[in-house]
Structure 1
Amino acid sequence: MKKLIVLAIATLFLLAACSGGKDKVTIGVASNDTKAWEKVKELAKDEGLDVEIKQFSDYNVPNKALSDGDIDMNAFQHFAFLNEYKKSHKDAKISVASTTVLAPLGIYSDKIKNVKKVKDGAKVIIPNDVSNQARALKLLEKAGLIKLKNNFGLNGTTKDIKSNPKHLKIKAVDAQQTVRALSDVDFAVVNNGVASKAGKDPKNDPIYLENAKSDSVKPYINVVAINDKDKDSKKIKKVIKLYHSKEAQKALKEDTKDGEKAVNLSKKKLKISKTV
């Protein structure tokens, strides 16, 4: 009997040692490049890392989860979104650790095939968070549908529309709701990841697409965000390196149908970009 107890205890210690042999990293995502992170999770096993992917359906939650310590890193937002979040949450100790992709914003419609065919008084849906609302309005201007004030910047709203010749009826809603509203409006400005989740092809379905090569889209490069206390974390650096590996990037390209452009800024460029 004593031998059995000793054996059982030894087994428990062995299991504990095995399960505790791997460092764990939890990453929060709310976009469509999950396959890339799944590949990272697969590759991380050989690095002694246990990567957990936590999905969020609301853009307002991942940063709070990061600040609260519920996750170790997140990858769902661009520079402009994070900067705006930190302005409204002064106690948020969040830093940019790396860049991931540029996901071009698009104008989608179930009713028209050409942006030049937009009718007078058309109903339009755009994201309501500050950074993406400004980005959406800039896209409408690029498409020749409205004119914005000269000092529009990164935080402009519908109040900063200088001219609306087609009398567009613009309504801002939660970014996740934009694609669902397509049946009720003439067109909508939809984030790349939201469109992909809804089964849209972010490269070919938009009737107008943001120019990914333009300098004006640099504030909208997506990032990996971490808690300030983890800026020197070796396991997080290892996860980021795996994300930029050939295997993970191949998974990203296949998953997004080449609708997202991989971005891996150097430390020098990353420091400059943090100020956008």
Structure 2
Amino acid sequence: MRKTVLPAAAGMLALGLALTACGSGTDSAGSGGGADDTLVVGATPVPAGEVLTYIKDDLAEKAGLKLEVKEFTDYVLPNTALQEGSLDANLYQHEPFLKDFNESKGTELVAVAPVYLPPMGVYSKKVEDVTELADGATVAVPNDTTNEGRALDLLVAEGLITLKDDAGADASPADIAENPKGLEFRELEPAQLPRSLDDVDAAVINNNYAQDAGLSPAEDAILLESATDNPYTNVLAVKRGDEDDPRVEKLVTLLHSAEVRKFIEDKYAGSVLPVTSG
């Protein structure tokens, strides 16, 4: 039985190995575009890569946009590549993560448009409802700064734990104030969380890693974030100063189009929630 709840307030993410797809980069023209004014956008494969590939194949030419999609399997390289100029934009992160990344890495990246919400969920092979977790149950959570806090907020919203008053968006298990069930927390890299389900009682998993592992957030999560007032909507980001790039503006228009909304609604059936303005 899946429940949907509103997160309290925290964030996302991890490390891995980059994988490029949909072609290689081109010579620089502007911050990262090719000599032919191709807009090069970095993305994680699901859902960002699929959404951008749909735009590239079905909408971009008519809109006068040349689009190239580069896919990454981690949450660090798309931002470093954007800062260094081998990308013109990226789509995969929410603003709390972007802010934390800028502060920790010294980058100058900005969000230009919200696109969709990939709700984080709790998954389990042992129970069908979070209330069925036994005393002392083991719960795996992401081990990165913003994502771990976001996962704990999801458990707070369901009343499983409380956090200390001064716990912020970077909360960790050390910030837990009350833990009535005595839950034990196992901190893992986000990409490893789906593989941990055989070894733990439950795991809080990022949407893209859940879908990569064949899990349906809408059907398989026993607890799922609500989209209402959710701060974790994924955004299209660029390097500061490129916000008014006409190519970026064309992509934003397409990302907010009725065609893309329908694509997201049809393909993900509630596992990813589209945003059309913001």
| Pair in the same fold by TM > 0.5 | yes
Q: Counterpart in 1 of 2:248?
A: 236
Asked whether 1:169 is paired with 2:181, we answer no
Asked whether 1:246 is paired with 2:246, we answer no
> What's the secondary structure of 2:241's corresponding residue?
helix
In 1, the alpha carbon distance for the partners of 2:45 and 2:116 equals: 11
- Report if aligned partners of 2:138, 2:185 keep a CA contact under 8 Å in 1: yes
2:115 paired residue among 85, 96, 100? 100
In 2, the alpha carbon distance for the partners of 1:144 and 1:224 equals: 33
More helix by share: 1
Structure showing greater Rg: 1
Matched residue count: 243
Q: Which 5+ residue runs of structure 2 have no aligned equivalent?
A: 1-33
In 2, the alpha carbon distance for the partners of 1:82 and 1:248 equals: 24
The alignment's TM-score, normalised by the length of structure 2, stands at 0.83
Q: Counterpart in 2 of 1:57?
A: 73
- Report if aligned partners of 1:32, 1:256 keep a CA contact under 8 Å in 2: no
- Report if aligned partners of 1:79, 1:221 keep a CA contact under 8 Å in 2: yes
The alignment's TM-score, normalised by the length of structure 1, stands at 0.83
How far residue 40 of structure 1 moved from its aligned partner, in angstroms, is 1.1
Asked whether 1:255 is paired with 2:259, we answer no
Asked whether 1:24 is paired with 2:23, we answer no
Q: Counterpart in 1 of 2:214?
A: 199
Q: Counterpart in 2 of 1:154?
A: 169
Distance 1:248 1:173, change over 3 A: same
1:156-181: per-residue Cα shift (whole Å, max 9, x none)?
11111001222211022111111121
- Report if aligned partners of 2:256, 2:277 keep a CA contact under 8 Å in 1: no
In 1, the alpha carbon distance for the partners of 2:35 and 2:79 equals: 29
Q: Counterpart in 1 of 2:130?
A: 115
1:188 paired residue among 183, 199, 203? 203
- Report if aligned partners of 1:36, 1:252 keep a CA contact under 8 Å in 2: yes
Q: Counterpart in 2 of 1:84?
A: 100
Distance 1:146 1:21, change over 3 A: closer
In 2, the alpha carbon distance for the partners of 1:67 and 1:256 equals: 31
1:51-98: per-residue Cα shift (whole Å, max 9, x none)?
1111111112110010011111111000111111011022x1211111
Q: Counterpart in 2 of 1:45?
A: 61
**Greater shift after overlay, 34-43 or 60-69?**
34-43
Report the residue type matching 2:76 in the other structure.
N
Distance 1:167 1:117, change over 3 A: same
- Report if aligned partners of 2:142, 2:190 keep a CA contact under 8 Å in 1: yes
How far residue 258 of structure 1 moved from its aligned partner, in angstroms, is 2.1
In 1, the alpha carbon distance for the partners of 2:96 and 2:277 equals: 16
In 1, the alpha carbon distance for the partners of 2:91 and 2:136 equals: 37
Report the residue type matching 2:196 in the other structure.
A
Identity, in percent, stands at 37
1:78-127: per-residue Cα shift (whole Å, max 9, x none)?
0111111011022x121111111122111000111111110122111111
In 2, the alpha carbon distance for the partners of 1:172 and 1:145 equals: 17
- Report if aligned partners of 1:121, 1:168 keep a CA contact under 8 Å in 2: yes
Q: CA RMSD in A?
A: 1.7
Q: Counterpart in 1 of 2:155?
A: 140
1:103-156: per-residue Cα shift (whole Å, max 9, x none)?
211100011111111012211111111111001001111222211112322121
How far residue 31 of structure 1 moved from its aligned partner, in angstroms, is 5.0
Q: Which 5+ residue runs of structure 1 have no aligned equivalent?
A: 1-19, 267-276
**Greater shift after overlay, 134-143 or 144-153?**
144-153
